[in-house]
Amino acid sequence: MTDIATVGAFRLEDSAVNRMGYGAMQLAGPGVFGPPKDRGAALAVLRAAVASGINHIDTSDFYGPHVTNALIREALHPYPGDLVIVTKVGAVRGEDASWKPAMAPADLVRAVHDNLRNLGLDVLDVVNLRLMGRVHEPGEGSIEEPFTALAELRRQGLIRHLGVSNTTSAQVAQARGIPEVVCVQNHYNLVHRADDALIDELADIGIAYVPFFPLGGFTPLQSSILSDVATQIGATPMQTALAWLLHRARNILLIPGTSSVGHLRENLAAAGLSLSDEALARLNTIDNRGAR
Ligand SMILES: NC(=O)c1ccc[n+]([C@@H]2O[C@H](COP(=O)([O-])OP(=O)(O)OC[C@H]3O[C@@H](n4cnc5c(N)ncnc54)[C@H](OP(=O)(O)O)[C@@H]3O)[C@@H](O)[C@H]2O)c1
């Protein structure tokens, strides 16, 4: 089994997380709504992730809603001492599975308490404020009111650290002026590189960058160059895409999502891949369709 420690760890203030983590969103039912098809399989993925050395799990109470948090609690509580569970607030689900912004201070208080209760925690390790922007792309605008509300919950001891998701550079700067930001979670992968400058900016100031949709999310990555390079190095395209992210910058932490133990193991094996300068150069030529 791959030793994920080979790709190192990154410090989120008082805790160090392995750069290879796990995103739990895929454990809910279709459309991230309702229960999983196979509850036992979902619990097995979570237990296998932690048994493999993963100590960074990404979730939200709006996955399901409540479903992934309940699965995490059932599979892993009482939690290992080094496990960092990162959640996000800022949206709720409609009865039709829609995603609705919920950024008022009272919504955020409710969301933080929902996460605490459903995860079975007294304090949340990291809470990302998920800005609704343009669905999976950020949009400018002040975040002072919602971020100040989260800072107050942190002051009360309900949250250890804060992050921002689906954010612009200006919004990160604004959030840093309120309390602190330990991580940024935005849409980024081999073919969607709009955040190249932001990643470098955050690396310089020691803030983690956690790409969501590292494998393309609901539209799996597809590229003939990616497939060619993968064949050359004896890996799958998904593993190669994850290895590219690990090479891209030291502050990138991975949270690929999967509902299968087989895919989880394949993804972890990306930690053992090395990419030659030639392979990296070829991967870097892949069309940057996501550029803003
Ligand atoms: N902040 C935000 O707004 C936001 C938005 C989206 C996601 N997220 C977080 O980011 C995490 C990662 O994003 P994501 O799960 O949406 O997308 P992703 O990691 O890019 O891709 C997940 C998809 O890839 C498939 N997959 C995973 N490993 C594979 C493999 N080795 N071979 C082939 N297919 C594979 C999964 O299917 P199987 O289940 O069949 O493996 C699933 O359909 C989420 O779990 C969530 O925690 C955050």
Predicted confidence (pLDDT) per residue in 43-69, tens digit: 999 999 999 999 999 999 999 999 999
Q: Given a cut of 90, is residue 163 above it in pLDDT? A: yes
Q: What is the pLDDT of residues 239-284, one digit of tens each?
A: 999 999 999 999 999 999 999 999 999 999 999 999 999 999 999 9
Annotated catalytic, 63?
A: yes
Burial 168-191 (b: 16+ CB within 10 A, else e): beebbebbeebbebbbbbbbbbbb
Please indicate, yes or no, if residue 96 is contained in any of the structural domains. Answer: yes
Please indicate, yes or no, if residue 84 is contained in any of the structural domains. Answer: yes
Whose Cα sits closest to atom 29 in ligand 1?
263
What separation in Å is there between the alpha carbon of 267 and the centre of ligand 1?
Answer: 11
Whose Cα sits closest to atom 41 in ligand 1?
258
148-157: long-range pairs with CB below 8 Å, 24+: 148/178, 149/105, 149/108, 149/109, 150/89, 150/108, 150/112, 151/178, 151/179, 153/108, 153/109, 153/112, 153/127, 154/179, 155/179, 157/123
Please indicate, yes or no, if residue 226 is contained in any of the structural domains. Answer: no
pLDDT of residue 134: 81
Q: What is the pLDDT of residues 206-215, one digit of tens each?
A: 999 999 999 9
Torsion sign (Cα): 37, 99, 198, 159: negative
What separation in Å is there between the alpha carbon of 237 and the centre of ligand 1?
Answer: 14
> Which domain covers residue 38, as residue numbers?
4-220+251-260
Q: What is the pLDDT of residues 3-56, one digit of tens each?
A: 898 999 999 999 999 999 999 999 999 999 999 999 999 999 999 999 999 999
Whose Cα sits closest to atom 13 in ligand 1?
213
Query: Which residue, among 81, 82, 104, 101, has the nearest Cα to 91 in the 3D structure?
Result: 101
Question: Measured from the CA of 267, which atom of ligand 1 is nearest?
Answer: 31
Q: Given a cut of 50, is residue 100 above it in pLDDT? A: yes
Please indicate, yes or no, if residue 286 is contained in any of the structural domains. Answer: no
Please indicate, yes or no, if residue 238 is contained in any of the structural domains. Answer: no
Catalytic member of 63, 79, 188, 209: 63
- The count of domains in the chain is 1
Question: Measured from the CA of 266, which atom of ligand 1 is nearest?
Answer: 31
